[in-house]
Amino acid sequence: MREHCLVNPGQTVRLADWDANDTCGVASKAEAEKELKRLNKELARLQELLYAEDKHRLLIVLQAMDTGGKDGVIKQVMRGVNPQGCLVHNFKVPTPEELAHDFLWRIHQRVPPRRYITIFNRSHYEDVLVVRVHNLVPESVWRPRYEQMNQFEKLLGETETTILKFYLHITKDEQKRRLEARRDTPHKQWKFSLGDVKERAYWDDYMRAYEEALTQCSTPWAPWYIIPANKKWFRDLSVARIIVETLERLDMRYPEPEPGIEQAVVPD
C-alpha cells in the first residue's frame, strides 16, 4: 500500500490518473475496520517507544480539499495514542505578526520536539495552494517556495525528524455529497461553511496547484502519499498502515535501565 500511494521523487502528478475510489484490494469496510483496530494498538505501542527512546520525532502533514477528511484521519488513526506525546496544529490565515516574518516562521515554531508526534492539519503548503489560486502574492513570490520548503524539510530530516505528507484525494462529486450531508445533518451543520461552497468554483485551479506541489515537493526525506479518500474506511486504514510501517523502520529501542535497579528495595 505504501508504494501504491507514494509519489516518487521526480514523478509528474496528474490527479486524474489517481483513483479516489481505489481500495488496493481491501475487500470490505469490515475488514478495514478490523485491521485499523490492530494498527491503533500498534501505533500506541510505537508512540510509547518513540517517547521513551527520546531520539526521533515524527511530523505528519495532512492536506486535502474541504471535506477531504483531515479531521477524520486524526480522530480515527490516532485513536488510543497518548495525548501527552502528540500535538496537533491547524494553520489558518496568518496573523499580522506572522505576516511580518517569512512564510515558514510560524511553521518552524510548531515542528515536533524530540520524542513527539506532531500533526499539521493544513500546513506550509497553503502558501503554494490558496495563495496561488487566489493570487494573494505574485508568482515570483510563491514559485520559489517549492525549493524553500524542500530545503526546510531536509533540515528537519537531518535533525531526526521523520516527515510523512498525506494528500487525501477525493473527487469533486464526493465533495458535493459530503457538503450536502453537512448542510442537511443538524449536528454537522456547525462544520458547514458558505466559504467552502464558494471555493468549489476554484476546484480545477486547486487541482493544478496540488499537482505541482506534489510533483515538486515529494523528496526522499519528505515523501508525499496520495491517499484514495472517497471511502473513509480505506483512507484511515491507508494512513495508519503507512505511519506504523514508518515507525517500525526507525528500529527504536527502550533506553537501558539505570544501573543497579535489580538490587533496589522499594520501602514499605
pLDDT digits (tens, 9 = 90+) for 93-143: 999 999 999 999 999 999 999 999 999 999 999 999 999 999 999 999 999
State pTM to two decimals. 0.95
Contact indicator for 126, 64 with CB cutoff of 8 Å:
no
Flag whether pLDDT at 230 surpasses 90.
yes
- CA torsion angle 198 199 200 201 (round to 10): 80
Beta bridge pairs of residue 61: 120, 165
Residue range 180-210, pLDDT digits in tens: 999 999 999 999 989 889 999 999 999 999 9
Helix ranges, the chain (H): 2-5, 29-53, 70-77, 96-99, 105-108, 130-133, 139-142, 145-157, 172-184, 194-199, 203-216, 232-249
Contact indicator for 225, 165 with CB cutoff of 8 Å:
yes
Residue range 147-171, pLDDT digits in tens: 999 999 999 999 999 999 999 999 9
Which whole-number Å values give the CA distances from 97 to 28, 89, 94, 134, 166, in the listed order? 48, 17, 8, 21, 28
Chain-centre distance of CA 128, in angstroms?
Answer: 16
Give the pLDDT confidence score for residue 262 in this predicted structure: 83
For 151-190, b where at least 16 C-beta lie within 10 A, e where not — what string? Answer: ebbeebbeeebbbbbbbbbbbeebbeebbeebeeeeeeee
What is the C-alpha to C-alpha distance for residues 154 and 245, in angstroms, rounded to an integer?
21
Helix and strand totals (H; E) in the chain: 12, 6
The CA-based angle 207-222-54, given to 5 degrees, is 140
Sheet containing strand 57-64, strands side by side? 6-7, 224-228, 161-169, 57-64, 117-121, 86-90
Give the pLDDT confidence score for residue 101 in this predicted structure: 97
Give the pLDDT confidence score for residue 41 in this predicted structure: 97
Looking at the structure, give the CATH architecture of the domain made up of residues 2-250.
3-Layer(aba) Sandwich (3.40)
Which residues, in sequence order, are CB contacts of 91 under 8 Å at separation 6+? 106, 107, 120, 121, 122, 123, 124, 126
Contact indicator for 228, 169 with CB cutoff of 8 Å:
yes
Instruction: Give mean pLDDT, residues 207-229.
Output: 98
Give the pLDDT confidence score for residue 257 in this predicted structure: 87
Residue range 235-253, pLDDT digits in tens: 999 999 999 999 999 999 9
C-alpha cell at 215: 510533483
Residue range 42-86, pLDDT digits in tens: 999 999 999 999 999 999 999 999 999 999 999 999 998 999 999
Identify the band that residue 3 occupies on the pLDDT scale cut at 50, 70 and 90: confident
Contact indicator for 14, 224 with CB cutoff of 8 Å:
no
